[in-house]
Structure 1
Amino acid sequence: MKLAAFGDSITAGQYLAEDETYVSKLASRFGLETVNAGVPGNTTGQGLARFESDVLERRPNLCIVAFGMNDHVNTAPETAKTPLPQFRANLTLIVERLHAEGIAPLFCTVNPIIEGDAELYYYSRHPREWYRNPDGAQAWIDVYNETIREVAEETDTPLADIALEWRRYLSAGGSLNDLLRTVENSGAADGVHPTAAGQELFASCIGEVLAARFPVREVR
């Protein structure tokens, strides 16, 4: 069984060793052959430009679709890199093309971020004042996540709700400072990219959906 993971830097496992990525963890858990088709910085539109060569030509049986972190980013006040209607259309097109090739899709929502301020974390790189209506970058991510959920329902695509899983972890007393790269754990005011612990939570959430909805079996 071959699994492709199609997404951005979070899927690529930027800043981590290969065996710390959720893709590697899923490969070990289920004995899967995997293709990590995560490219840092990619939006859904950029992903579609390489979809044929990076995913479809690799002939996976299953494909994780994990975009949104870059699509929501504002390039001007209230102007996302990928406007919401286009984001919805891109996700729908990805699923349609996967189905046409006999590849089963699985969506993921986007993990929460550390917003910070003008000196540290997200707003040190993206102006806070650009994120209005809804108010704040996390609120924008929440809206994009809701679109992912809606497209999953509309297309009857299994969903690994990473955002919800992380919220449950936080409600149980966990901290984003453990799941995301911070000054304390990596020397970087990142607040977006998962640590190894964050990738483990990705793998756990996706793994539960794989076990429940797909013909895969744990090998460990």
Structure 2
Amino acid sequence: MKTFLNIFIFPVIFFLMVSCGNEPKKQEQEKTAAEEVQSDVQQEDTQVILFFGNSLTAGMGLDTEESFPAVIQKKIDSLGLNYEVVNAGLSGETTASGKNRVDWVLNQEVDVFVLELGANDGLRGIPLEETKKNLQNIIDIVRKKDPGARIILAGMQIPPNLGPEYTSGFREIFPQLAAENEVELIPFLLEGVAGDPELNQPDGIHPTAEGQEIVAQNVWEVLLPVLKEGTQK
């Protein structure tokens, strides 16, 4: 899992130097100082996208660079957008443990918060009302700590092992929360991947590197418009 990433802004230190008639050297020093200032300005303007989820976000079983948040970062870089991705995925995370962890994760300012939790709740048969309440609490905490952050909720579905009522109820949690909180929704994070043996690891749950590419595209279709809006502010 990619370790949690903190952004540090280092001030530029200017040294007063005597040129002693060495004009070319002085010009080079001035150029270097200007480049350092520009670099700091760019760092200050960098916005943070935080992916908060479970092993799907963490990229369990894969190299860090193959996880879908890392693929998203590559897409961002290719377009020259000034965003930095933070992968805060934790294998085994439930909505309850996520609710307890989110305060610590929000120790830095976040501009876009992608919430990908719930799958482990569904697989464990946790009561639907509890899952929904925990997700709502996480949304509330994010809005309290970072009022300006855009929130994107990743929709999830589970196999019908626990019966059609639980399965359909679980699926509906995500569009309901998105509508009630006026947040963006990824309809189904694993669209085009779930149930395909060629796109999943042997456990049948976690996507392969190729599957993660498809997951990244599912996210990107919702995320990109949000990023474009952010660059226009």
TM over 0.5: yes
Distance 1:8 1:163, change over 3 A: closer
Alignment of 1:1-220 (within 5 A): 1-31=47-77, 32-54=83-105, 56-74=106-124, 80=125, 82-100=126-144, 101-102=146-147, 103-110=149-156, 131-134=161-164, 140=167, 142-162=168-188, 165-166=191-192, 176-182=196-202, 190-215=203-228
Show the counterpart of 1:126: none
More helix by share: 2
**Distance in 2 (alpha carbons) for counterparts of 1:163 and 1:49:** 23
**How far is the alpha carbon of 1:111 from its aligned partner?**
5.8
Aligned residues of 2:95 and 2:117 also touching (Cα < 8 A): yes
Distance 1:6 1:68, change over 3 A: same
**How far is the alpha carbon of 1:211 from its aligned partner?**
1.6
**How far is the alpha carbon of 1:163 from its aligned partner?**
5.0
1:158-184, Cα deviation, whole Å (9 max, x unpaired): 011225732xx78xxxx71122113xx
Q: Flag structure 2 segments of 5+ consecutive residues without an equivalent.
A: 1-46, 78-82
Show the counterpart of 2:23: none
Amino acid at match of 1:180: N
**How far is the alpha carbon of 1:26 from its aligned partner?**
0.9
**How far is the alpha carbon of 1:198 from its aligned partner?**
1.5
1:112-149, Cα deviation, whole Å (9 max, x unpaired): 66x8xxxxxxxxxxxxxxx44338xxx73x53222111
**How far is the alpha carbon of 1:110 from its aligned partner?**
2.3
Amino acid at match of 1:15: G
Q: Flag structure 1 segments of 5+ consecutive residues without an equivalent.
A: 75-79, 116-130, 183-189
Normalising by the residue count of structure 1, what TM-score does the alignment of the two structures yield?
0.72
Kindly name which structure, 1 or 2, has the bigger radius of gyration based on alpha carbons: 2
**Distance in 1 (alpha carbons) for counterparts of 2:162 and 2:156:** 19
* Higher RCO (CA 8 Å, separation ≥ 6 residues): 1
Percent of paired sites with the same residue: 27
**Partner SS, residue 96 of structure 1:** helix
**Partner SS, residue 58 of structure 1:** coil
**Distance in 2 (alpha carbons) for counterparts of 1:28 and 1:97:** 29
**Distance in 2 (alpha carbons) for counterparts of 1:24 and 1:97:** 25
Distance 1:20 1:111, change over 3 A: farther
Aligned residues of 1:5 and 1:35 also touching (Cα < 8 A): yes
Amino acid at match of 2:134: N
Q: CA RMSD in A?
A: 2.5
Aligned residues of 1:64 and 1:108 also touching (Cα < 8 A): yes
